[in-house]
Amino acid sequence: MRFSARSFLLLCLIVAPTAIAQTPPASPSPKTQEKTAEHFEAFAKSLHGVRLRGHFTVVDEGKITSQHEEQYEIREIQKLPQGDRWRFLARIRYGRIDVTLPLVLQVKWADTTPVITLESVRIPGLGTFSARVLFHGQRYAGTWQHGDKGGHLYGVIEKLDGANDTPSSVPTQQEGGRKG
């Protein structure tokens, strides 16, 4: 039986996806784990004792209908041992609400860029939110959704007066978890 180039290509297209699907994922190398721990440590330091000061917009039927100032304070941040979870001690001021809460949130990574990911997360006293907020240098940007309202948010990251640069608990390599 002779195989033509076309038959060989067809066989490869049929067999290759099966072979690839059966290959177990490689364990992260020690170098990759070290880089991940470095990213976690840098992220924790960058958001320890900071104020996020900027704006949020409201988008209605595909158009930005309003823009408002916003401000959040992140007093502490800590990587938790479970997967992508981080604990933020955050002060949220919105209208007449001024509350400091511990929030456990997912942080995913787009290469070296951290992205806070909320998917229908209930925040006591404020409601249920979904959001994607990325941090790059001294800036943040993202999207938010609260019921049928949603929009964009963006701004700068400022150190709080009197805040030191060292989180009380910088994640260790063992706490590093996996890169999402």
Name the fold adopted by 30-159.
Lipocalin (2.40.128)
Dig out the tokens for 83 from the structure.
């997967």
Confidence (pTM)? 0.72
CA 104 distance to own-chain centroid: 12
CB count in 10 Å sphere of residue 163: 16
Q: What is the pLDDT of residues 117-129, one digit of tens each?
A: 999 999 888 899 9
Residue 56 is predicted with a pLDDT of: 95
Task: List, for the chain, all residue ranges whose pLDDT scores fall below the cut of 70.
Answer: 1-35, 163-180
pLDDT in tens, 156-170: 999 998 766 555 544
Report the C-alpha gap between 28 and 47 in whole angstroms.
26
Element containing residue 30 per DSSP (H, E): helix 30-46
**Distance (Å, whole) CA 44 – CA 13:** 45
Dist. CA 32–CA 15, nearest whole Å: 31
State how far the alpha carbon of 35 is from the alpha carbons of 112, 151, 169, in Å: 9, 33, 18
pLDDT at 72: 93
